[in-house]
Chains A and B, each alone.
Chain A
Amino acid sequence: AQKVTQAQTEISVVEKEDVTLDCVYETRDTTYYLFWYKQPPSGELVFLIRRNSFDEQNEISGRYSWNFQKSTSSFNFTITASQVVDSAVYFCALSDGMNTGFQKLVFGTGTRLLVSP
């Protein structure tokens, strides 16, 4: 079976602090994709990143960075110098070939990030 665990329900930080959102996944497949989505109060899920299981290189995009470690089945997301506009619920998701045919996404329960001025 496949599963995504986001143990942090809610994180509160003050603007300009760095924050890391944790994601742990389970799958027996060797080929899979991992995703992060942002859901602001407006409700739309905004795609942030997709990584495949064969690419463990960390990625940086502006203030965002992602740390993919297959050894610990984790795909953590760090926001550097957080801003109020980063306040949202962040979801980690998994899609594999064995269980989903790379179609449906299996989401974690999300981490609510509150950034105060």
Chain B
Amino acid sequence: DTGVSQNPRHKITKRGQNVTFRCDPISEHNRLYWYRQTLGQGPEFLTYFQNEAQLEKSRLLSDRFSAERPKGSFSTLEIQRTEQGDSAMYLCASSLDPTGRAYSNQPQHFGDGTRLSIL
């Protein structure tokens, strides 16, 4: 049973560049989440998908951020014109909601994260 996979593990880029991260969820999971974690803090919710539909976006997700899950499988998170404040660990999680009713949602399982450093 493979877990959530994220690539790359580390990304170092110059301010102003665009970056894209990929997340492959656990295969049967229909829900996929993105979180951001800064040093010494707990993860903060960014957005989530049910299958290919993006159902909620946090106010933390500025216009420079875009997430997709084109076929309801893997997801990408792109940050355009990166800024120093974007430096963080970006975590992806997935879960199975067998009935589609929110209360039945199973626990979220997380990947190893992508650590982004902006020079």
A residues with a Cβ closer than 8 A to B are 4, 31, 35, 37, 42-47, 50, 91, 93, 97, 101-110
Contact = CB atoms under 8 A, between A and B. Distances in A.
B108 interface: yes
A110 B42 contact: yes
Given A43-B89, A44-B110, A44-B113, A104 B42 contact: no
Nearest to B111: A44
Contacts of A47: 107-110
Contacts of B109: 47
Contacts of A35: 107
A45 to B, nearest CB: 4
**Interface residue tally on B, bucketed by range:** 20 to 34
B44 interface: yes
Contacts of B93: 45
Nearest to B103: A102
A46 B107 CA distance: 11
B102 A97 contact: yes
A44 B112 contact: yes
B41 interface: yes
Instruction: Across the A-B interface, give the 4 residue pairs with the lowest CB-CB distance, nearest first.
Output: A107-B42, A104-B45, A45-B110, A102-B102
Nearest to B31: A103
B56 A103 contact: yes
Contacts of B112: 42-44
Contact of B91 (A45, A46, A102): A45
